[in-house]
């Protein structure tokens, strides 16, 4: 089994990564606690029998980004109260980024904060969303407008769970892997052109994210580099009414933000390899309306990652009006 220990100001996160880990999780969690397991209907149908956590109650929501809302926060809290979940009990998020964002947010507020574990089931959550403690819900049409930073105590990554992932969701994860390669690790980026091991890719991305979030837990410096491609990417996602998966929108955003033509060409070649469509068009005014709500804008200025070369990124300050003019 591969493991990582990531240290933060308030607590630490232990990561366990192994094929078929799902069936052995109960040997890695403490006895004598109550567990509330949050998941979606798809994951419940596929994997609820394989996950045996003693003393647990399930909360099962419909799948999809639309579920990441305050109504579901209330619903989960009601279930936790009626199940008498105490301050020392644990919430387990069993699903993709929607489930870990929503459940992580509940865990950060329930009785002023309880511990939680993540069992990420999508590639995008296994390589990125599961680690770093960003939690939250969407508000009206705006993504992640309400949230907190609250780190999971344990993360269990089982790459076998990806076998049932729809192709578009897999490609969405590849989008974030490309981001890690472009910004931090040229070998990782180049490996995507050949036959790669998905377990290795996941471990490498988590290791990079662990180093970055240990250095900049609260998103004030180098962690902002993880937003590469996300400013316009989030807007494309919203304008598409969440029909284009997040990581694919991030690829479109990176294409927009990369300045060097040779790097852009390499990215286009990767998109061709993975059969990701490159011909999409957006309504610019609609995109702009979303971009100006971006959380990273302070006093009309946005801190943006700028790719200097493959594997090297720096944070720059750009006036939001200049960024919008380039659209």
List contacts with ligand GLY (CB under 6 A): 128, 132, 134, 223, 226
Q: Report the SS3 class of residue 280.
A: coil
Contact 173, 247 (CB under 8 A): yes
Output the smallest distance, CB 263 to ligand GLY, in A.
Answer: 21
Residues facing residue 65 across a β-bridge: none
Indicate the residue among 39 and 135 with the shorter CB distance to ligand GLY.
Answer: 135
- Among residues 223 and 266, whose Cβ is nearest to ligand GLY? 223
Of 47 and 234, nearer to ligand GLY (C-beta) is 234
Q: Rounded distance, CA 114 to CA 135, Å? A: 13
As measured in angstroms, the least distance from the Cβ of 76 to ligand GLY is 22
Distance between CA atoms of 204 and 180, rounded to whole angstroms?
Answer: 9
Query: Please, which residue, 85 or 212, has the CB nearer to ligand GLY?
Result: 212
Shortest approach of ligand GLY to residue 21 CB, angstroms?
A: 22
Q: Of 223 and 303, which has the nearer Cβ to ligand GLY?
A: 223
The CA angle 140-300-253, to the nearest 5 degrees, is 65
Rounded least distance, CB 23 to ligand GLY, Å: 29
- How near is the Cβ of 298 to ligand GLY at its closest, in Å? 17
Cα 3 from chain centroid (whole Å): 19
Nearer to ligand GLY, 85 or 134 (CB): 134
Q: In this structure, are residues 50 and 25 in contact, taking their beta carbons and an 8 Å threshold?
A: no
Nearer to ligand GLY, 35 or 180 (CB): 180
Kindly list the distances between the CA atom of residue 98 and the CA atoms of 145, 219, 306, 322, in Å, as whole numbers in the listed order: 14, 20, 28, 32
Toward ligand GLY, which CB reaches closer, 22 or 178?
A: 178
Measured between alpha carbons, how far is 218 from 254 in angstroms, rounded to an integer? 23
What is the SS3 assignment for 188?
Answer: helix
Q: What residue has token string 């061709």?
A: 272
C-alpha 23/C-alpha 241 separation (Å) is 36
Rg of the chain (C-alpha set):
19
Q: Cβ of residue 230: shortest distance to ligand GLY, in angstroms? A: 8
| Shortest Å distance, C-beta 144 to ligand GLY | 10
Nearest distance from C-beta of residue 223 to ligand GLY, angstroms: 5
Q: Angle 246-257/230-239 helices, nearest 10 degrees?
A: 130
Q: Is 68 exposed, middle or buried (0-12, 13-18, 19+ CB in 10 A)?
A: buried
Min dist CB 84 to ligand GLY, Å, is 32
Q: What angle do CA 134, 139, 145 make, to 5 degrees?
A: 35
Q: At which residue do the structure tokens 């979606």 appear?
A: 40
Between 134 and 303, CB nearer to ligand GLY: 134
* Contact call for residues 323 and 302 (beta carbons, < 8 A): yes
């Amino acid at each position: 089994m591969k493991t990582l220990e990531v240290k933060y100001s308030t607590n630490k996160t232990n990561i366990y990564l192994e094929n078929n880990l799902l069936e052995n999780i109960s040997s890695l969690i403490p006895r004598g606690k109550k567990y509330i397991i949050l998941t979606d209907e798809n994951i419940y149908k596929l994997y609820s029998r394989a996950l045996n956590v003693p003393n647990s109650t399930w909360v099962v929501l419909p799948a999809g980004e639309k579920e990441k809302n305050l109504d579901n926060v209330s619903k989960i809290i009601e279930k936790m109260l009626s199940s008498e979940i105490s301050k020392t009990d644990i919430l387990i998020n069993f699903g993709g980024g929607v489930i870990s964002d929503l459940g992580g947010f509940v865990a950060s507020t329930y009785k002023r904060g309880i511990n939680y574990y993540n069992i990420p089931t999508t590639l995008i959550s296994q390589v990125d969303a599961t680690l770093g403690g960003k939690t939250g819900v969407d508000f009206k049409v705006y993504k992640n407008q309400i949230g907190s930073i609250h780190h999971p105590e344990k993360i269990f990554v089982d790459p076998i769970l990806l076998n049932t992932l729809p192709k578009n969701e897999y490609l969405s994860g590849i989008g974030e892997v490309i981001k890690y390669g472009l910004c931090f690790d040229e070998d990782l980026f180049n490996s995507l052109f050949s036959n790669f091991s998905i377990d290795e890719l996941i471990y490498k991305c988590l290791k990079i994210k662990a180093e970055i979030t240990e250095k900049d837990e609260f998103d004030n410096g180098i962690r902002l580099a993880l937003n590469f491609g996300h400013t316009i990417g989030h807007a494309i996602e919203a304008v598409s009414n969440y029909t284009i998966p997040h990581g694919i929108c991030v690829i479109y955003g990176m294409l927009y933000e990369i300045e060097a033509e040779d790097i852009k060409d390499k990215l286009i070649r990767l998109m061709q390899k993975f059969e990701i469509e490159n011909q999409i068009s957006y309504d610019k005014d609609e995109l702009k309306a979303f971009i100006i709500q971006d959380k990273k804008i302070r006093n009309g200025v946005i801190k943006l990652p700028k790719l200097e070369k493959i594997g090297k990124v720096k944070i720059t300050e750009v006036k939001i009006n200049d960024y919008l003019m380039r659209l």
